[in-house]
Chains A and B, each alone.
Chain A
Amino acid sequence: DAMVIQNPRYQVTQFGKPVTLSCSQTLNHNVMYWYQQKSSQAPKLLFHYYDKDFNNEADTPDNFQSRRPNTSFCFLDIRSPGLGDAAMYLCATSRAEDTQYFGPGTRLTVL
């Protein structure tokens, strides 16, 4: 089945230790999004890629970076995780203006 996959589902890292979260999709969608979601709040958009074009949200901290090496994969890099970065990270994809489809999420714990 076509889907959005996120690995790992659970990630534990230490304060200040870089971490990378992975997202892949078999939907062949041209837009990929990364969200941060804290404790049952609404997801907060960090950035998105439209094809290879990177679009950062104005209030996304510099600590968060992203890479999209090809259509199928997108990575979220947190350069120096702080305790406040502990959250669920959601990846989503869409075909341009069409419906967004979400992956299962990666829950990040920062010790």
Chain B
Amino acid sequence: AQSVAQPEDQVNVAEGNPLTVKCTYSVSGNPYLFWYVQYPNRGLQFLLKYITGDNLVKGSYGFEAEFNKSQTSFHLKKPSALVSDSALYFCAVRDPHGGATNKLIFGTGTLLAVQP
């Protein structure tokens, strides 16, 4: 079965320190991978995606993610966390059986808390 796992419900990091939010996936074929961020009472905001090409993907607000095929991972990273990065982060993979759409399989989400 196709799935996405975010093993950490919450990640705590001090402002200025590097952050990592973990994501692993299980999907048939080549994965299309996405990261979204959600602030309280808001919709999901697209951060970055991996379709093909360079394994290191750069996105919005200084975030980047590294695609690792052998470990089936797509961890989200940022070199220096800001308090304003505190939010709920979702990893997602395109459902390969979703037809000609971008139906997504979401992870359970990771709450990032950045302490000042």
A interface vs B, CB < 8 Å?
A: 4, 6, 31, 33, 40-43, 45, 48, 50, 55, 88, 90, 92, 94, 96-105, 107
Contacts and interface: CB of A to CB of B under 8 A. Distances in A.
Interface of B: 32, 34, 36, 41-46, 49, 88, 90, 94, 99-104, 106-109, 111
5 contacts: A42-B109, A48-B101, A48-B103, A102-B43, A104-B42
Closest 4 CB pairs of A and B: A102-B43, A42-B106, A102-B44, A94-B102
A96 B100 contact: yes
Contacts of B104: 45, 100
A71 to B, nearest CB: 15
Contacts of A40: 88, 109, 111
Contacts of A90: 43-44
Nearest to B34: A99
Contacts of A41: 108-109
B49 A99 contact: yes
A97 B94 contact: yes
A70 B102 CA distance: 20
